[in-house]
Structure 1
Amino acid sequence: MRRMTTTTHIAATATRPPFAMKSAFILTAISLLATAVHGSVVELEPRATGGYIQNPSGTASFTFYSGCSPPACGKSATGFTAAMSQLAFGASSGLGAGDACGRCFQVTGDKDPYSPDFTGPFNSVVVKVTNLCPVSGNEQWCGQTTSQPTNSLGMSVHFDLCQDTGTDKAFFPSGRGALTGTYQEVSCSQWSGTDGPSLWNGACLSGESASNWPAVGCGNQGTAP
């Protein structure tokens, strides 16, 4: 039987994010500026701000959800998309886009944690991150924190794949709805889809054109859980 997630994502309504998001976005933009010191240029590293843990590859767990819009990054997309666990996403609920927004990852399943004897076949797809899976309400899957950087299955990152765009059908074997495996950040030239319009000021998918982590895309907001 398919296992449907009950994850609660940031984008519950289509309203613009609160003022806190705008302030954080402005501060991030300021921190991106290079600081001139005696004729030399010192590059700041806003991606590391807030204690978020953002690695370009690692272990991951995977589920799927529906009702993917409006997404936390402020732009939807027509291709395969996913929500990412808060510790890697780079923002908490209400603060808008994190540095994961727009980044593309090849995700590969290799085990069903509920049926360890299942040997596949497993699939691999490229997804773009457009949404947040917050810790609150999703502790089993997206509960990674700085003090406990893996979830209940021992995975460092969780991807909740968007059912609305058919990502679940492309990724999960028939009858499966939760897997563990690996992820690898890749160029978004490997992703098939189209970005939608900005839904509010501060919407960002800049990760799609940034180099892989630790390079900066949208920048982080707030403090890691």
Structure 2
Amino acid sequence: MVPTTVPLFRFNSWIISFILFGHASAQWISYSDNGIASMTHYTLPESWVAACGCTASSDSFPTAALSQMAYGSSTAYGPACGRCFNLTLLNTFLSVPPFYPAESKSIIVKVTDLCPLSTTGWCNATTKGPNAAGHYLNFDLAYPSNSISSNFFPSNASYYGYTDFGVWNISYQSVSCSNWEGWNDAAALGSISSQGPESVCCAANPTNSSNTCTSYSDHNGIAQVFFLFFNIRRSRHI
């Protein structure tokens, strides 16, 4: 069971009537620096302190949550915290027919949050199998955001009758955070001091084992957590 002292920043945005925990050990997903993933988006309040405990100013720039088993922890910080990725939209696949934008759009994000593992959904990939899109990684973009253009996601409303496709196939590429828009803003880098060093870790530019966050779950002997949600209300677009 997760101790009550563990910061669960992200879960403040859920209303949950029942949670089922299971599985005693974690097997994190190893992934290459470049590949194909799925992308969803979620509402992150302004100046919100997400799971990594990055400074509240970080969400003044593009950020994303990463699916739990790739993130590397079931709560608080994980090895993905602070990593930066260039994400490029490829196509939608839930629409009929799939939508292929005429122009490829990319965005560089910093991982500041955890997208919790569940029995269904786009962040449910484990080493035993991918999500419904066939991918082992899902990036959950913090959007809408003042840092991202309101027309970042292409659409064709006249054909489909709606503008938000919800889920995209994307390509991802690990990049230096010196390419991230928030790199030159000191207030956007690092962890919030008020939470203490034991509960937060948001590396400015993680590149190797010496400057990459460890797994809070592994470090504190917290069992891997699988979530089964009922009667959920949340502002995720799927």
TM-score above 0.5: yes
Task: Note if contact 1:113-1:179 (Cα within 8 Å) is conserved in structure 2.
Answer: yes
State the superposition RMSD in angstroms: 2.7
- The answer to whether residue 174 in structure 2 is matched with residue 192 in structure 1 is no
Distance, in Å, in 2 between the alignment partners of 1:58 and 1:98 is 20
Task: Note if contact 1:110-1:181 (Cα within 8 Å) is conserved in structure 2.
Answer: yes
- The answer to whether residue 213 in structure 2 is matched with residue 218 in structure 1 is yes
Distance, in Å, in 1 between the alignment partners of 2:212 and 2:152 is 26
Deviation at 1:136, TM superposition (A): 2.6
Which residue type is aligned with residue 205 of structure 1? C
- The answer to whether residue 59 in structure 2 is matched with residue 73 in structure 1 is no
Distance, in Å, in 1 between the alignment partners of 2:214 and 2:69 is 13
Task: Note if contact 1:128-1:191 (Cα within 8 Å) is conserved in structure 2.
Answer: yes
SS in 1 for 2:66: strand
Q: Name the count of aligned residue pairs.
A: 177
Instruction: Within 5 Å, give how 1:153-172 maps onto structure 2.
Output: 153-166=133-146, 167=148, 169=150, 171-172=152-153
Distance, in Å, in 1 between the alignment partners of 2:82 and 2:154 is 26
Task: Note if contact 1:99-1:218 (Cα within 8 Å) is conserved in structure 2.
Answer: yes
TM-score by length of 2: 0.65
Give CA-to-partner distance per residue, 1:109-128, whole Å, 9 cap, x none.
11111234422033111000
Q: Which runs of 5+ in 1 are unaligned?
A: 1-8, 15-48
The residue aligned with 2:65 is: 83
Which residue type is aligned with residue 97 of structure 1? Y
Distance, in Å, in 1 between the alignment partners of 2:110 and 2:150 is 16
Change (3 A) 1:109 1:216: same
Identity %: 35
Which residue type is aligned with residue 181 of structure 1? I
The residue aligned with 1:52 is: 28
The residue aligned with 2:234 is: none
- The answer to whether residue 221 in structure 2 is matched with residue 203 in structure 1 is no
TM-score by length of 1: 0.69
Task: Note if contact 1:81-1:165 (Cα within 8 Å) is conserved in structure 2.
Answer: no
- The answer to whether residue 118 in structure 2 is matched with residue 129 in structure 1 is no
The residue aligned with 1:142 is: 123
SS in 1 for 2:181: coil
